[in-house]
Amino acid sequence: MLSKKTKYGLKALTYLASKPKNEPVQIAEIAEHENISQKFLETILLSLRKTGFLGSKKGKGGGYYLIKDPSDIKMTSVIRILEGPIAMIPCVSLNFYEKCDDCPDENKCSVHKLMIQVRDSALKVYGQTTLSDLIG
Amino acid sequence: MLSKKTKYGLKALTYLASKPKNEPVQIAEIAEHENISQKFLETILLSLRKTGFLGSKKGKGGGYYLIKDPSDIKMTSVIRILEGPIAMIPCVSLNFYEKCDDCPDENKCSVHKLMIQVRDSALKVYGQTTLSDLIG
DNA sequence: TGATTACTCTAGTAAACCTATAGGATAATA
DNA sequence: TATTATCCTATAGGTTTACTAGAGTAATCA
Protein backbone atom coordinates (compact mmCIF):
# COMPACT_ATOMS: atom_id res chain seq x y z
CA MET A 1 0.00 0.00 0.00
CA LEU A 2 1.09 3.49 -0.84
CA SER A 3 1.40 5.57 2.33
CA LYS A 4 -0.44 8.85 2.70
CA LYS A 5 2.93 10.46 2.99
CA THR A 6 3.89 9.42 -0.53
CA LYS A 7 0.49 10.24 -1.91
CA TYR A 8 0.48 13.73 -0.38
CA GLY A 9 4.08 14.28 -1.38
CA LEU A 10 3.35 13.43 -5.00
CA LYS A 11 0.30 15.66 -5.05
CA ALA A 12 2.27 18.53 -3.59
CA LEU A 13 5.04 18.06 -6.11
CA THR A 14 2.53 18.01 -8.94
CA TYR A 15 0.90 21.16 -7.65
CA LEU A 16 4.25 22.91 -7.41
CA ALA A 17 5.12 21.76 -10.91
CA SER A 18 2.01 23.43 -12.24
CA LYS A 19 3.15 26.77 -10.83
CA PRO A 20 5.63 29.21 -12.37
CA LYS A 21 9.15 28.12 -11.65
CA ASN A 22 10.92 29.44 -8.56
CA GLU A 23 7.78 31.11 -7.27
CA PRO A 24 7.44 30.08 -3.64
CA VAL A 25 4.10 28.53 -2.74
CA GLN A 26 3.01 28.43 0.87
CA ILE A 27 2.30 25.18 2.67
CA ALA A 28 -1.13 26.46 3.57
CA GLU A 29 -2.04 26.98 -0.06
CA ILE A 30 -0.91 23.51 -1.08
CA ALA A 31 -2.62 21.93 1.91
CA GLU A 32 -5.90 23.65 1.15
CA HIS A 33 -5.84 22.97 -2.56
CA GLU A 34 -5.03 19.28 -2.11
CA ASN A 35 -7.05 18.67 1.06
CA ILE A 36 -4.09 17.69 3.16
CA SER A 37 -3.49 18.34 6.86
CA GLN A 38 -1.14 21.31 6.92
CA LYS A 39 0.96 20.09 9.81
CA PHE A 40 1.46 16.70 8.22
CA LEU A 41 2.34 18.28 4.90
CA GLU A 42 4.97 20.38 6.65
CA THR A 43 7.00 17.33 7.57
CA ILE A 44 6.65 15.87 4.10
CA LEU A 45 7.81 19.00 2.32
CA LEU A 46 10.66 19.30 4.77
CA SER A 47 11.94 15.88 3.81
CA LEU A 48 11.59 16.72 0.13
CA ARG A 49 13.67 19.80 0.68
CA LYS A 50 16.36 17.93 2.58
CA THR A 51 16.63 15.43 -0.23
CA GLY A 52 17.11 18.05 -2.88
CA PHE A 53 13.76 18.22 -4.63
CA LEU A 54 12.52 21.45 -3.16
CA GLY A 55 13.90 24.80 -2.18
CA SER A 56 12.31 27.00 0.44
CA LYS A 57 12.07 30.59 1.46
CA LYS A 58 11.17 31.77 4.93
CA GLY A 59 9.21 34.79 5.98
CA LYS A 60 6.59 36.78 4.15
CA GLY A 61 6.23 35.78 0.54
CA GLY A 62 8.07 32.59 1.36
CA GLY A 63 7.15 29.01 0.64
CA TYR A 64 8.37 26.01 -1.27
CA TYR A 65 9.34 25.70 -4.90
CA LEU A 66 10.75 23.06 -7.21
CA ILE A 67 14.49 23.14 -7.65
CA LYS A 68 14.68 20.94 -10.74
CA ASP A 69 12.74 20.88 -13.94
CA PRO A 70 9.71 18.55 -13.64
CA SER A 71 10.98 16.51 -16.58
CA ASP A 72 14.15 15.81 -14.62
CA ILE A 73 12.33 14.41 -11.61
CA LYS A 74 11.92 10.67 -12.06
CA MET A 75 9.36 8.75 -10.10
CA THR A 76 12.00 6.22 -9.08
CA SER A 77 13.75 8.78 -6.92
CA VAL A 78 10.59 10.38 -5.54
CA ILE A 79 9.14 7.02 -4.53
CA ARG A 80 12.38 5.86 -2.95
CA ILE A 81 12.59 9.00 -0.83
CA LEU A 82 8.97 9.08 0.28
CA GLU A 83 7.95 5.44 0.30
CA GLY A 84 11.23 3.59 0.58
CA PRO A 85 12.14 0.55 -1.49
CA ILE A 86 10.34 -0.07 -4.77
CA ALA A 87 10.81 -3.81 -4.37
CA MET A 88 8.18 -5.63 -2.39
CA ILE A 89 10.73 -7.66 -0.47
CA PRO A 90 14.20 -6.61 0.68
CA CYS A 91 15.98 -9.57 -0.94
CA VAL A 92 15.21 -8.22 -4.41
CA SER A 93 15.75 -4.56 -3.60
CA LEU A 94 18.46 -2.76 -5.55
CA ASN A 95 18.81 0.14 -3.13
CA PHE A 96 17.70 -1.39 0.16
CA TYR A 97 18.93 -4.96 -0.13
CA GLU A 98 18.67 -7.29 2.85
CA LYS A 99 18.97 -11.03 3.02
CA CYS A 100 16.02 -13.11 4.19
CA ASP A 101 16.50 -14.93 7.47
CA ASP A 102 14.73 -18.02 6.29
CA CYS A 103 16.21 -18.46 2.83
CA PRO A 104 19.29 -20.65 2.51
CA ASP A 105 19.55 -19.97 -1.23
CA GLU A 106 17.93 -16.96 -2.83
CA ASN A 107 18.36 -18.28 -6.31
CA LYS A 108 16.18 -21.26 -5.55
CA CYS A 109 13.45 -19.25 -3.84
CA SER A 110 10.14 -19.04 -5.65
CA VAL A 111 9.15 -15.79 -3.98
CA HIS A 112 12.45 -14.22 -4.92
CA LYS A 113 11.96 -15.24 -8.53
CA LEU A 114 8.47 -13.78 -8.69
CA MET A 115 9.30 -10.57 -6.90
CA ILE A 116 12.20 -9.79 -9.22
CA GLN A 117 9.71 -9.69 -12.06
CA VAL A 118 7.32 -7.48 -10.12
CA ARG A 119 10.14 -5.16 -9.15
CA ASP A 120 11.33 -4.85 -12.73
CA SER A 121 7.87 -4.09 -14.01
CA ALA A 122 7.37 -1.36 -11.42
CA LEU A 123 10.84 -0.03 -12.08
CA LYS A 124 10.02 0.27 -15.74
CA VAL A 125 6.97 2.41 -15.03
CA TYR A 126 8.67 4.61 -12.46
CA GLY A 127 11.78 4.88 -14.61
CA GLN A 128 10.01 6.20 -17.65
CA THR A 129 7.70 8.57 -15.78
CA THR A 130 8.72 12.01 -14.64
CA LEU A 131 6.85 14.66 -12.74
CA SER A 132 6.08 16.44 -15.99
CA ASP A 133 4.14 13.38 -17.16
CA LEU A 134 1.78 13.75 -14.23
CA ILE A 135 0.67 17.29 -14.94
CA GLY A 136 -2.51 18.09 -16.81
CA MET B 1 5.99 -4.52 1.28
CA LEU B 2 5.05 -8.14 0.95
CA SER B 3 3.87 -9.52 4.28
CA LYS B 4 5.45 -12.58 5.82
CA LYS B 5 2.07 -14.20 5.52
CA THR B 6 2.13 -13.96 1.74
CA LYS B 7 5.76 -14.94 1.53
CA TYR B 8 5.28 -18.02 3.69
CA GLY B 9 2.08 -18.92 1.91
CA LEU B 10 3.77 -18.80 -1.48
CA LYS B 11 6.66 -20.87 -0.23
CA ALA B 12 4.33 -23.45 1.22
CA LEU B 13 2.34 -23.63 -2.00
CA THR B 14 5.53 -24.08 -3.99
CA TYR B 15 6.69 -26.83 -1.68
CA LEU B 16 3.37 -28.62 -1.97
CA ALA B 17 3.48 -28.26 -5.74
CA SER B 18 6.81 -30.06 -5.81
CA LYS B 19 5.30 -33.07 -4.06
CA PRO B 20 3.30 -35.90 -5.65
CA LYS B 21 -0.29 -34.82 -6.15
CA ASN B 22 -2.84 -35.55 -3.42
CA GLU B 23 -0.19 -36.77 -1.03
CA PRO B 24 -0.81 -35.00 2.28
CA VAL B 25 2.19 -33.14 3.67
CA GLN B 26 2.26 -32.26 7.35
CA ILE B 27 2.49 -28.68 8.52
CA ALA B 28 5.55 -29.57 10.56
CA GLU B 29 7.39 -30.81 7.49
CA ILE B 30 6.64 -27.67 5.49
CA ALA B 31 7.51 -25.44 8.42
CA GLU B 32 10.83 -27.15 8.96
CA HIS B 33 11.78 -27.27 5.30
CA GLU B 34 10.94 -23.61 4.72
CA ASN B 35 12.05 -22.28 8.12
CA ILE B 36 8.66 -20.96 9.09
CA SER B 37 7.08 -20.84 12.53
CA GLN B 38 4.74 -23.80 12.60
CA LYS B 39 1.95 -22.10 14.51
CA PHE B 40 1.96 -19.15 12.15
CA LEU B 41 1.99 -21.43 9.14
CA GLU B 42 -1.04 -23.24 10.53
CA THR B 43 -3.20 -20.14 10.19
CA ILE B 44 -1.90 -19.42 6.72
CA LEU B 45 -2.59 -22.90 5.41
CA LEU B 46 -6.00 -22.79 7.00
CA SER B 47 -6.91 -19.70 5.04
CA LEU B 48 -5.60 -21.29 1.85
CA ARG B 49 -7.79 -24.28 2.50
CA LYS B 50 -10.85 -22.16 3.16
CA THR B 51 -10.32 -20.32 -0.09
CA GLY B 52 -10.12 -23.46 -2.16
CA PHE B 53 -6.43 -23.85 -2.87
CA LEU B 54 -5.67 -26.66 -0.47
CA GLY B 55 -7.31 -29.78 0.82
CA SER B 56 -6.54 -31.33 4.18
CA LYS B 57 -6.65 -34.63 5.95
CA LYS B 58 -6.71 -35.02 9.70
CA GLY B 59 -5.13 -37.68 11.88
CA LYS B 60 -2.13 -39.87 11.27
CA GLY B 61 -0.85 -39.65 7.72
CA GLY B 62 -2.79 -36.42 7.35
CA GLY B 63 -1.66 -33.05 6.12
CA TYR B 64 -2.29 -30.53 3.39
CA TYR B 65 -2.24 -31.05 -0.34
CA LEU B 66 -2.93 -29.01 -3.45
CA ILE B 67 -6.41 -29.31 -4.86
CA LYS B 68 -5.76 -27.76 -8.27
CA ASP B 69 -3.02 -28.29 -10.78
CA PRO B 70 -0.14 -25.84 -10.20
CA SER B 71 -0.54 -24.50 -13.72
CA ASP B 72 -4.11 -23.55 -12.88
CA ILE B 73 -3.12 -21.46 -9.86
CA LYS B 74 -2.53 -17.89 -10.98
CA MET B 75 -0.54 -15.48 -8.86
CA THR B 76 -3.30 -12.89 -9.13
CA SER B 77 -5.62 -15.02 -7.02
CA VAL B 78 -2.99 -16.17 -4.55
CA ILE B 79 -1.79 -12.63 -3.94
CA ARG B 80 -5.31 -11.27 -3.57
CA ILE B 81 -6.14 -13.91 -0.97
CA LEU B 82 -2.97 -13.63 1.05
CA GLU B 83 -1.90 -10.02 0.59
CA GLY B 84 -5.08 -8.26 -0.43
CA PRO B 85 -5.32 -5.73 -3.24
CA ILE B 86 -2.69 -5.75 -5.96
CA ALA B 87 -3.15 -2.03 -6.50
CA MET B 88 -1.09 0.26 -4.29
CA ILE B 89 -3.99 2.56 -3.61
CA PRO B 90 -7.68 1.69 -3.24
CA CYS B 91 -8.86 4.21 -5.87
CA VAL B 92 -7.23 2.16 -8.64
CA SER B 93 -8.09 -1.27 -7.27
CA LEU B 94 -10.23 -3.51 -9.45
CA ASN B 95 -11.28 -5.85 -6.66
CA PHE B 96 -11.06 -3.62 -3.61
CA TYR B 97 -12.07 -0.22 -4.96
CA GLU B 98 -12.55 2.69 -2.58
CA LYS B 99 -12.75 6.40 -3.25
CA CYS B 100 -10.16 8.76 -1.79
CA ASP B 101 -11.45 11.22 0.79
CA ASP B 102 -9.31 14.04 -0.47
CA CYS B 103 -9.80 13.71 -4.22
CA PRO B 104 -12.60 15.72 -5.83
CA ASP B 105 -11.87 14.23 -9.26
CA GLU B 106 -9.99 10.98 -9.70
CA ASN B 107 -9.42 11.53 -13.37
CA LYS B 108 -7.42 14.65 -12.68
CA CYS B 109 -5.34 13.12 -9.91
CA SER B 110 -1.66 12.63 -10.69
CA VAL B 111 -1.29 9.83 -8.16
CA HIS B 112 -4.26 8.02 -9.62
CA LYS B 113 -2.78 8.26 -13.09
CA LEU B 114 0.58 6.89 -12.00
CA MET B 115 -0.81 4.10 -9.88
CA ILE B 116 -2.99 2.77 -12.68
CA GLN B 117 0.16 2.15 -14.66
CA VAL B 118 1.87 0.47 -11.73
CA ARG B 119 -1.18 -1.68 -11.10
CA ASP B 120 -1.36 -2.78 -14.71
CA SER B 121 2.29 -3.70 -14.82
CA ALA B 122 1.98 -5.80 -11.68
CA LEU B 123 -1.21 -7.36 -12.96
CA LYS B 124 0.56 -8.38 -16.13
CA VAL B 125 3.24 -10.24 -14.19
CA TYR B 126 0.84 -11.90 -11.77
CA GLY B 127 -1.57 -12.74 -14.56
CA GLN B 128 0.92 -14.61 -16.66
CA THR B 129 2.58 -16.44 -13.79
CA THR B 130 1.21 -19.62 -12.27
CA LEU B 131 2.45 -21.76 -9.41
CA SER B 132 4.04 -24.14 -11.90
CA ASP B 133 6.28 -21.33 -13.13
CA LEU B 134 7.75 -20.99 -9.65
CA ILE B 135 8.95 -24.56 -9.28
CA GLY B 136 12.50 -25.61 -10.01
C1' DT C 1 -11.91 -48.55 22.60
C1' DG C 2 -8.25 -45.66 23.52
C1' DA C 3 -3.96 -43.58 22.41
C1' DT C 4 -1.78 -40.89 19.16
C1' DT C 5 -1.54 -37.85 15.50
C1' DA C 6 -2.55 -33.73 13.15
C1' DC C 7 -5.62 -30.26 11.63
C1' DT C 8 -9.17 -26.37 13.58
C1' DC C 9 -10.32 -22.30 15.77
C1' DT C 10 -10.44 -18.28 18.85
C1' DA C 11 -7.96 -15.02 21.40
C1' DG C 12 -4.38 -12.51 22.84
C1' DT C 13 -0.03 -9.75 22.60
C1' DA C 14 4.28 -7.20 21.77
C1' DA C 15 6.50 -4.54 18.51
C1' DA C 16 6.51 -1.75 14.61
C1' DC C 17 4.51 1.50 11.69
C1' DC C 18 1.40 5.18 10.17
C1' DT C 19 -0.87 9.52 10.49
C1' DA C 20 -1.07 12.97 12.22
C1' DT C 21 -0.58 17.07 16.04
C1' DA C 22 1.78 20.27 19.38
C1' DG C 23 4.63 23.81 20.23
C1' DG C 24 8.50 26.36 20.23
C1' DA C 25 12.78 27.92 17.39
C1' DT C 26 14.55 30.25 13.53
C1' DA C 27 14.84 33.28 9.75
C1' DA C 28 13.17 36.68 6.34
C1' DT C 29 10.52 40.64 5.31
C1' DA C 30 8.35 45.09 5.91
C1' DT D 1 10.10 45.31 16.12
C1' DA D 2 6.06 42.91 14.44
C1' DT D 3 4.59 39.64 11.29
C1' DT D 4 4.93 35.80 8.42
C1' DA D 5 6.23 31.29 7.31
C1' DT D 6 9.43 27.61 7.47
C1' DC D 7 12.24 24.42 10.74
C1' DC D 8 12.56 20.83 13.98
C1' DT D 9 11.71 17.53 17.67
C1' DA D 10 8.73 14.95 20.28
C1' DT D 11 4.89 12.31 21.06
C1' DA D 12 0.07 10.63 20.97
C1' DG D 13 -3.11 7.32 19.33
C1' DG D 14 -4.57 4.06 16.19
C1' DT D 15 -3.70 0.12 13.08
C1' DT D 16 -1.26 -3.72 11.33
C1' DT D 17 1.98 -7.42 11.59
C1' DA D 18 3.79 -11.52 13.16
C1' DC D 19 3.42 -14.42 15.92
C1' DT D 20 1.94 -17.55 20.39
C1' DA D 21 -1.21 -20.17 23.58
C1' DG D 22 -4.23 -23.42 24.35
C1' DA D 23 -8.19 -25.99 23.98
C1' DG D 24 -11.09 -28.53 20.49
C1' DT D 25 -12.09 -31.92 16.77
C1' DA D 26 -11.47 -35.63 13.70
C1' DA D 27 -8.94 -39.58 11.73
C1' DT D 28 -6.00 -43.53 12.20
C1' DC D 29 -4.25 -47.72 14.15
C1' DA D 30 -3.19 -51.14 17.68
Q: Do residues A52 and A90 share a domain?
A: no
Q: Flag whether B37 is in a domain.
A: yes
Structural domain including B15 reads 4-66
Whether B28 maps to a domain, the answer reads yes
Query: Is B89 inside any structural domain?
Result: yes
Residue A80 lies in a domain: no
Q: Answer for the pair B78, B9: CB distance below 8 angstroms, yes or no.
A: yes
What is the share, in percent, of chain B residues with pLDDT greater than 70? 100
Residue A75 lies in a domain: no
Q: Per-residue confidence at B22, pLDDT binned at 50, 70, 90?
A: confident
Q: Decide if pLDDT at A21 tops 90.
A: no
* Residue of B111, B120, B124 to mutate, interface with A, max A Cβ within 10 Å: B111
How far is residue A49 from each of residues A22, B26, B61, B75, measured CA to CA in Å? Answer: 14, 54, 62, 39
Identify all chain B residues contacting A134, using CB atoms and an 8 Å cutoff.
Answer: 110, 113-114
Given B22, B37, B66, which residue is the final one in a domain? Answer: B66
**Rounded to whole angstroms, how far apart are CA atoms A94 and A133?**
25
Q: CA-CA distances (angstroms) from residue A24 to A49, A59, A131, B54?
A: 13, 11, 18, 58
- Please list the helix, strand and coil fractions of chain A in percent, rounded to the nearest 5, in that order: 55, 10, 35
B4 contacts in chain A (CB < 8 Å): none
Per-residue pLDDT reduced to its tens digit, A74-113: 999 999 999 999 999 999 999 999 999 999 999 999 999 9
| Lookup: nucleotide whose C1' is closest to B56 CA | C7
Check CB contact under 8 Å for B11 and A125: no
The pLDDT of residue B21:
86
Task: Give the per-residue pLDDT at A37.
Answer: 97
Nucleotide nearest to B54 (CA to C1'): C7
Same domain, B16 and B54: yes
Q: At A4, is the pLDDT very low, low, confident or very high (cuts 50, 70, 90)?
A: very high
Asked if residue B9 and residue B54 are part of one domain, the reply reads yes
Cβ < 7 Å from strand D, B residues 40-69: 40, 42-43, 57-62
Q: Is the per-residue pLDDT at B79 higher than 90?
A: yes
Q: Which residues of B touch A129 (CB under 8 A)?
A: 114, 117
Nucleotide with the nearest C1' to B42 CA: C7
Domain match, A94 and A53 both: no
| Same domain, yes or no: B10 and B56 | yes
Q: What is the CATH number of the domain that holds A12?
A: 1.10.10.10
Residues of A in contact with B124 (CB under 8 A): 121
Q: Read off the DSSP letter of residue A20.
A: P
Find which of A32, A33, A92, A102 to mutate to test the B interface (most B CBs within 10 Å of its CB): A102
pTM (two decimals): 0.95
How far is B101 from chain A, CA to nearest CA, in Å? Answer: 9
Residues A26-71: tens digit of each pLDDT: 999 999 999 999 999 999 999 999 999 999 999 999 999 999 999 9
- Determine the pLDDT at residue A105: 95
Q: State pLDDT tens for residues B26-74.
A: 999 999 999 999 999 999 999 999 999 999 999 999 999 999 999 999 9
Q: Has residue B48 been placed in a domain?
A: yes
Residues in chain A: 136
Gap from A39 CA to D8 C1', in Å?
Answer: 12
What's the pLDDT score for residue B16?
Answer: 98
How many domains are there within chain A? 2
| Chain D bases having any atom below 7 Å from a protein CB | 3-10, 17-22, 25-29
Residue A135 lies in a domain: no
Minimum-distance residue to D19 (CA–C1'): B40
In a domain, B135, yes or no: no
B136 pLDDT band, cuts 50/70/90, is confident
What is the rounded average pLDDT for all residues in chain B? 97
Instruction: Judge if A8 and A58 occupy the same domain.
Output: yes
> Would you place residue B15 in the very low, low, confident or very high pLDDT band (cuts 50, 70, 90)?
very high
User: Do B16 and B49 share a domain, yes or no?
Assistant: yes
